[in-house]
Amino acid sequence: MTRTMWDSSVGKKTVMAVSGLIMLAYLVVHMLGNLKIFFGSDEFNEYAHALRTLGEPFLHYEWALWIIRVVLVAAVVAHAVSAYQLSRRDIKARPTKYVHKKPRASYATRTMRWGGIILGLFIVWHILDLTTGTVHPGGFEAGHPYQNVIDTFSTWYGNVVYIVAVLALGLHIRHGFWSAAQTLGVGSRTRDRAFKTIANVLALVLTVGFVSVPVGVMTGVVS
Ligand code: HEM
């Protein structure tokens, strides 16, 4: 891509769309992996172990996991920086007549901005909770994610934080996936409608899938 392409709004929206799709692919896999919690502690903990030995014997222990982490961090940074730059550009492009009357960003834009900020904060919290154990309630045990997840969802605030974040995620994906389809060039009206349906289904499936874990612990289905 040339420099002008990077600097253009379309270039930045393309970066947002591609980085968003990378994170979405991760989330589909993560949500499916989380559902293994309904099949007991052995299966769930074995899955966490398999994530670390992925690619062996070609790769060393945890290398594949670290490659995934680097790609995800790059996607998060690219997504956030482009979003910030696009919103700065929006403000600068405002005609002067708005000086007296403060313009309001559209409902979708405001939801995406706040949703993005909530999700960014949530990801930091989530890593400190279930990956490093820094803010984990109770004794965090590396290699025993089943018990760690139960501990988290045995506190009221753990449930509130996760459920609010997952609802924000659902709304973000619903609008974001559709926007990505627009940017990457959908074309016809029929395809446009199809992408809207896919966006709604993806958002719903991910929301229900992720929320099922705290709900499972709260109702005692997972214990
Ligand atoms: C109720 C929903 C969720 C549960 C139960 C859950 C569970 C977990 C667990 C147990 C881990 C640690 C895995 C391990 O160390 O083996 C983890 C890591 C992670 N989760 Fe989630 N998660 C949930 C939702 C989410 C959401 C909504 C996002 C993103 C928006 C997310 C992003 C991540 C990331 C980035 C990691 C770090 C992977 C790493 O570097 O080790 N999770 N999750």
Asked whether 162 lines ligand 1 (CB < 6 A), one says yes
User: What pLDDT does residue 50 have?
Assistant: 95
**Rounded to 5°, angle at Cα 133 from 118 and 34:** 65
**Could you tell me which residue, 192 or 34, shows the higher pLDDT?**
34
Q: What DSSP string runs through 139-194?
A: ---TT-HHHHHHHHTTSHHHHHHHHHHHHHHHHHHHHHHHHHHHHT---SHHHHHH
Spatial separation of the C-alpha atoms in residues 162 and 213, rounded to whole Å: 10
User: What pLDDT does residue 108 have?
Assistant: 81
For residue 10, report the distance from its CA to the centre of ligand 1, in Å.
31
Asked whether 131 lines ligand 1 (CB < 6 A), one says yes
Fold of 8-96+106-218: 3 helical TM bundles of succinate and fumarate reductases (1.20.1300)
b/e map of 146-184 (b: 16 or more CB within 10 Å)? bebbbbbbeeeebbebbbebbebbbbbbbbbbbbbbebe
User: What pLDDT does residue 184 have?
Assistant: 87
Ligand 1 pocket test: which of 24, 66, 73, 126 has the largest number of ligand atoms within 8 Å of its C-beta?
126
For residue 129, report the distance from its CA to the centre of ligand 1, in Å.
9
Average pLDDT score over residue span 86-90:
81
Average pLDDT score over residue span 123-152:
96
Per-residue pLDDT at 99 exceeds 80:
no
User: What pLDDT does residue 119 have?
Assistant: 98
Asked whether 51 lines ligand 1 (CB < 6 A), one says yes
